[in-house]
Amino acid sequence: MRARFLRRQFTAIQKQAQRLATKNGSEVCGLLLDNGYFLELVQTRNRARSGGGFCFYYREIRMLQRMARLSQHEIVGTFHSHPLALAEPGHSDLRHAVNKSLMLIFDVIGRSAKLWRIKDHKANKVRFSLIR
């Protein structure tokens, strides 16, 4: 099955990534939730204090895990932006990713995004579409 995102939500996160990169070089980050129809982008706070990285708050992620479980959604991956790099996972991205998870990366400069399936610290590109 091809991954699908809501166009409006996708575009809003992409614009937020551009604003943060312009403001202070920081990254946008969050979780990908599968609701059975499309993948939802749930933005979280970025714990990283400097630009060029992202880190989640433990309590925020635990709360989102509980909410996903209660709503019968599944957390299938993460998303983040690269203010100064291509939309490809870096060494740190691959090292810290959950095995067999999805990773959506927004390239702020090129204004593009790519979805990856991470397995055994390797990334394989996944096609996706935007829906209404």
Second CATH level (architecture) for the domain 3-131: 3-Layer(aba) Sandwich (3.40)
Give the mean model confidence (pLDDT) for residues 90-108. Answer: 96
Give the mean model confidence (pLDDT) for residues 87-109. Answer: 96
Which has more confidence, 132 or 119?
A: 119
**Which residue has 């614009």 as its token pair?**
15
d(CA 126, CA 104): 9
The answer to whether 17 touches 110, Cβ cutoff 8 Å, is no
Residue 84 per-residue DSSP state? S
The pLDDT score that the predictor gives to residue 1 is 60
How is the chain split into domains, by residue range? Answer: 3-131
d(CA 41, CA 101): 14
The answer to whether 111 touches 19, Cβ cutoff 8 Å, is no
Helix (H, G, I), strand (E, B) or coil at 54: coil
Closest CA to 46 of 88, 17, 75: 17
- Return mean pLDDT, the chain: 95
d(CA 107, CA 90): 12
Binned at pLDDT 50, 70 and 90, residue 62 comes out as very high
